[in-house]
Amino acid sequence: MNNVLNNENKNEVKEELKKVIDIGIDFKCQENFAQNKFTEGEIQEILETPIEGVELDKLVEKFKEEILPYCSNFSTTNFMGFPDAGNSIAGLSGAIFTDLLQQNLINSSFCAPIATFMEIAVIKWLREVIGYNIKQIKNIYDVGGIITYGGTGSNATAMLLARENHRKNTMSRGVTNPNEYKVIIPKGIGHYSIRSSCMWIGCGDNIIEVPTNNFKYDLEELRKVIKENKGKIMCVVAYVGDSRTMSIENLQEVYEIVKSEDKNIWLHADACHGFSLAFSEKLKNKIKGLELFDSISTDPHKVLMIPYTLSALLIKEPEKIKMISSTSDLIMQEPYAFGQVTPFIGSKSWISLKAWFVLKNLGVKEIGNIIERRHEMAIFLGDEINKSNDFVLLNDININSVVFMYVGNKNNIKYSIDELNSINKQIKEVMDNEKIYYLHQFSIPDNLGILKKDTIVYPLRYMSGNDNIQKNDITKMLSYVRKKAEEIVNKMK
């Protein structure tokens, strides 16, 4: 078979790609998170493999047998440590079309004539769900958002906007005094992308971390820091579902404090997780005030069952995107060329098609139902932890994150914080080795004082966007963790 698709071999190609899809679907439906653990020797074997020609059908079979067993399966109900499963049938359909159609969203007239307007529609739908005003769209500067490849890209673009809003024409003049480009984030829960973005765009590591209560800003401390740094704050960042606890900031209060102290400070909401609550009539009140923020980062690939990657940055006042626009004779100077307003991105795949398929297929109401079921599963796990004698819950469950630790007898904890951290790290290590279940782990301050106020702990974290997960899956996982914890503790005696 010719290795380039054409009319003469298209039927053979269809059969070959059907095999690929069959293998991929079987992989996503397997029970365990992964089958095998990658060893150092196997890493070297991969790195030392020579380039050689292999017939495609043999190569696919080799991939199935020798590579797939080491891949992580986000779609299994045993994968409970990360936002989403990427298993929407509509989303998968959009992903396949994305690569087959090869539309380039840098220009509109010849690269992506209809794709451009479908991407605009996706951005418009997200703005409507969030609560931003919608204006008539006559050019790219009216759209009020851009599609990026991930939350880091969206947050980095937001920091660019904040920088230009803070000191006009920094794009052309450069940053002359980085100390005057400070960004405020909540202490202990900030996402790495904000600090990294500020350094990437020349503002330096001028992050100010404000103390938190219950993983939200201490509002009086926030006001105090703004006063102390008057005229030097370019942005305040609020989390609408931080990446650890999924806590939702006091959005209205933060807005009022920041804008009353300095109207020019850019307010950015990292709502990569939390914007999903806007689809639910029952839960959307949790994010009231989000529509007041100058920019909002959203990650459909974290919450809409969409295969990686897809993020969107939404901007309250659409025309402000002009502050960071660029021109080139390689980009068409036409009304709808996205390449004019997508920093860090040139050629861009039609990744928004995945969201278009999901949004059109499910609609707002059904997406809201899915978001509510996720929340209900997390609440169920939280209740099971609270009823148990050996686990403690370390966060309020705002969305779908449950942060918990094994402590033995919680009515009479006999272990020190260091010992508890060690036990829970060992639980995580066993889980990673056995590859049956996956939970996340990270360091976090005990903000609620469940064990010892603001002491750094290493809990386990459940968070899942897999609509296939049922209550019995959660109870089985908790029983598994308990069994592994007891084995570890018995070895310590």
Tokens of 153: 């890209």
Closest listed residue to residue 466, CA positions, set 98, 97, 50, 75: 75
Q: Name the amino acid, one letter, at 474.
A: I
What is the pLDDT, as a whole number, of residue 48? 83
Cα–Cα distances in angstroms (integers) from residue 258 to residues 125, 154, 268, in the given order:
28, 22, 11
Kindly give the confidence (pLDDT) of every residue in the chain, 493 residues in length, as a single tens digit, with 9 standing for 90 and above. Answer: 678 999 999 999 999 999 999 999 999 999 988 877 777 777 888 888 888 899 999 999 999 999 999 999 999 999 999 888 899 999 999 999 999 999 999 989 889 999 999 999 999 999 999 999 998 999 999 999 999 999 999 999 999 999 999 999 999 999 999 999 999 999 999 999 999 999 999 999 999 999 999 999 999 999 999 999 999 999 999 999 999 999 999 999 999 999 999 999 999 999 999 999 999 999 999 999 999 999 999 999 999 999 999 999 999 999 999 999 987 776 667 899 999 999 999 899 999 999 999 999 999 999 999 999 999 999 999 999 999 999 999 999 999 999 999 999 999 999 999 999 999 999 999 999 999 999 999 999 999 999 999 999 999 999 999 999 999 999 999 999 999 999 999 988 7
Report the C-alpha gap between 409 and 389 in whole angstroms.
6
What is the pLDDT, as a whole number, of residue 9? 94
CB atoms closer than 10 angstroms to residue 440 = 18
Cis peptide preceding 77, ω within 30 of 0: no
Tokens of 204: 């330096």
Tokens of 71: 């891949």
Strand 145-148 to 444-445 pairing: unpaired
Distance from chain centroid for Cα 294? 20
Domain 366-492 sits in CATH 2.40.420.20: no
Cα–Cα distances in angstroms (integers) from residue 214 to residues 78, 397, 432, 477, in the given order:
29, 11, 29, 27
What is the pLDDT, as a whole number, of residue 331? 64
CB burial readout 238-255, b (16+ within 10 A) else e: bbbbbbbbbbbbbbeebb
Half-sphere exposure of 240 (CA within 13 A, CB side): 33
CB atoms closer than 10 angstroms to residue 381 = 25
What is the pLDDT, as a whole number, of residue 240? 98
To 10 degrees, what angle do helices 251-261 and 219-228 make? 20
Is residue 247 within 8 A of residue 214, CB to CB? The reply is yes
Q: Where are the beta strands (DSSP E) in 370-477?
A: 391-393, 401-406, 440-441, 444-445, 456-457, 460-463
Sketch the domain layout of the chain as residue ranges. 10-30+35-71, 93-360, 366-492
Report the C-alpha gap between 463 and 245 in whole angstroms.
9
- The contacts of residue 265 (CB under 8 Å, 6+ apart) are 166, 226, 233, 234, 235, 236, 258, 259
Q: Name the amino acid, one letter, at 61.
A: E
Strand 145-148 to 311-315 pairing: antiparallel
Coil, strand or helix at 48: helix
Report the C-alpha gap between 110 and 116 in whole angstroms.
10
Tokens of 263: 């109207």
Widest CA span in the chain: 74
CATH domain 93-360 topology: Aspartate Aminotransferase; domain 2 (3.40.640)
What is the pLDDT, as a whole number, of residue 332? 64
Closest listed residue to residue 398, CA positions, set 236, 256, 265, 285: 285
What is the pLDDT, as a whole number, of residue 33? 86
